[in-house]
Structure 1
């Protein structure tokens, strides 16, 4: 079924052709959120057993310009990058024996040693048990990925390696660097050649940030996102990074950075359109990072979920062994697999991930179900508390509708 809602409040309920009542409920939920202006727009895709049951667009891709959302709108995936780029890269490399999950990180990043760092394993990065800080603004100390790595390497572990799970962007930054080191390719080129091209994906890519001149003197305005994905419509995200800025400047927000919060001032002040939202990915990693930076569509993400649901094979093209897929989806505790999250509100065996920009992917192997829900929740801008709309309840409700599970209390 295909439904296109060209503007906020303009969803044509009679245009829905799906005969699946559960999918109809999910469609109504998303449409209601858009109609109530809780979010600017969304794309919902539901597929079972390799057949797309529903693919619908709602609302606006850009509020200020009145650009309608369509099923082909390209989204900044934020942390969904962690699974749809970095984790998949690790699956390919481990499947080939080129990365050993139980090897220390120092096997690949040889100077990641001292003060307990030599105890951190690749597996620990994938399960968020490295002990690294959850988040820091590396761009206060770095203007490229080498400088960013040097800064991360200088940070003390906050927890013992391999023990407590603490979700960490920094761990996935290191995983991206490991993939590059082992493959001798930039991360964006590796995933394109080994995954996206073989699967025929035409709307999934990183967008590198090019810098002209002396990198130490360049301003945010001079950093420009470049092709691929040069002639597509993007779901616009936020005006700069007000939330991230508050993380640094408001100590009540729960983060504390080293040094003077006013020591860096290259904050973006324009609407981000096809330009990676994440500050670390943009300012320090040139748009290509293991934790954020990937752009894609609902249809392409469905193909990547299909690769997982088919145990490493998609339409006769085997990219990863079934054993590696099973290994990466196995629970490690705390609702965490290798890279993938195991949502408590989804059926047993489900795997997925969310992204800060409002993105969500879910696979349910026992039902052959692939669910993609992409929103541009940031495009209404922050509220008076510097917050964006919480789309977690929508993600859970849609999951309940299509997968038939009860929500946790």
Structure 2
């Protein structure tokens, strides 16, 4: 029989080994992110890496607001903290809209195989009547990837009607083309079925039940006391998307000069995405949410725990499995599951995640019971000489590699 002394010694050794491994991970993450801040490649970042119930790394680096509109350093740059809200950009698609659709599926109010035309009558046409909710969630609907909706629309209802009228760009279900427009329509379906605004539905059914008190649309209007990281100076990249054919987004029927409502100031608490801000008053199914690493982790915990929140079943395990099963394009519904993506390169089977244009990303690795949340406000340094923003994929890949290495060491 093992003695109490021997067990205690063994336990302390084991804890010491784990502590050393954790410390090594922290040092490696510090080296990755602090190096990018020191080189002025990113203004700042917040990261949360969690294994099981243990936060392996939770730390902020650099600045939430560093430069002014003329790309001159502020006299008093604002250091970022783990409590800062970041514009999570396309993470809105999974944190907000996909979760909303999951809840409606769970309640039996919709089915992912339902035709979109069941809810949006403008899709009851020979071209579009085969498009289903699954097609929207999996980016296989054939819709345009992006369209400058604000050139024609001033509110969400006008946005919805315009998307109905736009022709398809690809054949339905034949290929995957990541589409903001599909998730805008999913937001409309949430509103139609629930008879609530998208903002109200998410707040009442996701954020309040999960105590995600710092996740919201339009924080500059709703909670002016909050600390918020700054992003871009207006929308210079979107302006280029409209006018520069090299990027592949220009529309022959649109003259870049026919609309000129561009913002000309640093964005802080206003969503960076132009379609969300200019055409939808800051609220959309594809972008617009702001959040913190702590809040995002609360929803991740639910997904990792087969739909269980702290003391109740938030979403059924059946629905979790439905949305987190790979399709023929190697992705889930809403969530990315294709391990060829750099931010989750060679991830084990069952891993899922998503990225956001502002520099945000989430990866969940169920086999290791680990999740990684990274919030970077890369746009606050302005555009590079080549008229793009600094590409954070290498940072994501380095951090993911470090975590997977840590996971392997712990398993050994």
TM over 0.5: yes
Larger radius of gyration: 2
Residue 117 of structure 1 aligns with which residue? 128
> Larger helix proportion, structure 1 or 2?
2
Runs of 4+ displaced beyond 4 Å: none
1:405, distance to aligned residue in structure 2 (A): 9.1
Q: Offset at 1:51?
A: 1.9
Q: In the TM superposition, what are the counterparts of 1:6-405 in structure 2 within 5 Å? A: 19-64=22-67, 65=74, 66-207=77-218, 225-227=220-222, 229-257=223-251, 258-344=253-339, 345=345, 346-404=347-405
Report SS of the residue matched to 1:318: coil
CA contact (8 A) 2:143 2:169 kept: yes
Q: Which moved more, 1:274-283 or 1:380-389?
A: 380-389
Task: Determine the C-alpha separation between the residues in 1 that align with 2:299 and 2:335.
Answer: 13
Contact 1:29 1:394 in 2 (8 A): yes
8 A Cα contact 1:330 1:337, kept in partner: yes
Distance 1:97 1:23 in 2: 44
Aligned Cα RMSD in Å?
Answer: 1.7
Indicate the residue corresponding to 1:5 in structure 2: none
Answer yes or no: is the 8 Å Cα contact 1:23–1:46 preserved in 2. Answer: no
Superposed CA deviations along residues 99-145 of structure 1, whole A, max 9, x for unmatched, are 11001001111222224111100000000000000000000010001
With the length of structure 1 as denominator, give the TM-score of the two structures: 0.89
Offset at 1:307?
1.0
Distance 1:333 1:187 in 2: 30
CA contact (8 A) 1:347 1:405 kept: no
TM-aligned CA distance change 1:343 to 1:58, over 3 Å: farther
Counterpart contact for 1:281–1:292, Cα < 8 Å: yes
1:298, 1:134 → 2: CA distance?
Answer: 28
Matches of 2:87 and 2:292, distance apart in 1: 9
CA shift at 1:372, angstroms?
A: 0.4
Paired with 1:369 and 1:24, the residues of 2 have a C-alpha distance of 18
Against the structure 1 CA distance between its residues 370 and 113, is the aligned structure 2 distance closer, same or farther, given a 3 Å change threshold? same
Task: Report deviation, 1:18.
Answer: 8.1
Q: For residues 18-43 of structure 1, what are the alpha-carbon distances to aligned partners after superposition, in whole Å with 9 as ceiling and x for unaligned?
A: 83423432232112111111100000
Paired residue secondary structure (1:357): coil
In structure 1, distance between residues paired with 2:96 and 2:312: 18
After superposition, the C-alpha distances for 1:356-402 in whole angstroms (9 at most, x for unaligned) are: 00000111111111110110100000112211000011111101111
| 8 Å contact kept, 1:23–1:401 | no
Answer yes or no: is the 8 Å Cα contact 2:25–2:406 preserved in 1: no
Q: Distance in 2 between matches of 1:183 and 1:144?
A: 20
Task: Please tell me whether the aligned partners of residues 343 and 352 of structure 1 are also in contact (alpha carbons under 8 angstroms).
Answer: no
- What SS does the aligned partner of 1:111 have? helix
Q: Equivalents in 2 of 1:20, 1:330: separation in Å?
A: 34
SS at match of 1:246: helix
Q: Distance in 2 between matches of 1:55 and 1:405?
A: 16
> What TM-score, normalized to structure 2?
0.88
